[in-house]
Amino acid sequence: MKEVLLSNCERNFVNKAVEQGIRLDGRNLLEARPVNIYFGSNWGSCVVLLGQTRVVAQVTCDIQQPKTSRPNEGMVRINVELNPLAAQHFDSGKQQPEFSVLISRQLEKCFQDSKCIDLESLCIIADKKVWNLRVDINIINHDGNLIDCASIATLAALSHFHRPDVTSNGEDIIIHPFSEKDPLPLTLYHYPVCVSFITFESGNTIMDPTYLEERVGVAQLTLGINSGDSEEEATETLQVKDLLQ
């Protein structure tokens, strides 16, 4: 099913409002929506609400052989799924895989390339066994700014996650259940998040756009930042605009 087309009246109304410094939900141009985080009973499980945008995140782990180029480091994979319940146009065509890959790559830049996770602490036996972390992001309601909401969910899930303790004698590995040994949290060096902006025809720029504002805007900018640096990474993702419409 294709998404409903945006009428000229709606487009003109949003453009005129932003030009006058007004947003439909009453926020200032550079004001973000409230964030609510709910943690599940399992380690690394959480639900994040950014306004009406809703994302579920789950971190899991297993033991694998490390990459030959990094024999003493664990691995992290981020997978994004666009649930058909989130938006009516997520269940057809090539838009879903392309858009999900785009969000995954942005999250990988934010969390992997910034080296916020201590991957060496995930090594069990160098060149043989390491922990492999998998972060599954499921978009269950789309009301704009999926990248920011997904980045908050990823950070919250990683911060909440605990892995089993292991014992190794060099050959055999014993994975201790939580009832036997306390689980171990991940070591995070810093806490990166994504912050997105939309620019309109008038030249005005807003923060944390809704879905309607994303469709009306002409360009999108997403920054990956943390508390240590004023700007960790700045990537102009104009292709996001094409995939959203």
pLDDT tens, per residue, the chain with 245 residues = 456 688 899 999 999 999 999 999 999 999 999 999 999 999 999 999 999 999 999 999 999 999 989 999 999 999 998 877 777 667 655 555 677 888 998 998 899 888 899 999 999 988 889 999 999 999 999 999 999 999 999 999 999 999 999 988 767 888 898 889 999 999 999 999 999 999 999 999 999 999 999 999 999 999 988 876 544 344 434 334 443 34
CA atoms 161, 228, 37, 144: torsion sign: negative
Rounded Cα–Cα distance for residues 94 and 24 (Å)? 31
User: Is-above-0.95 flag for pTM?
Assistant: no
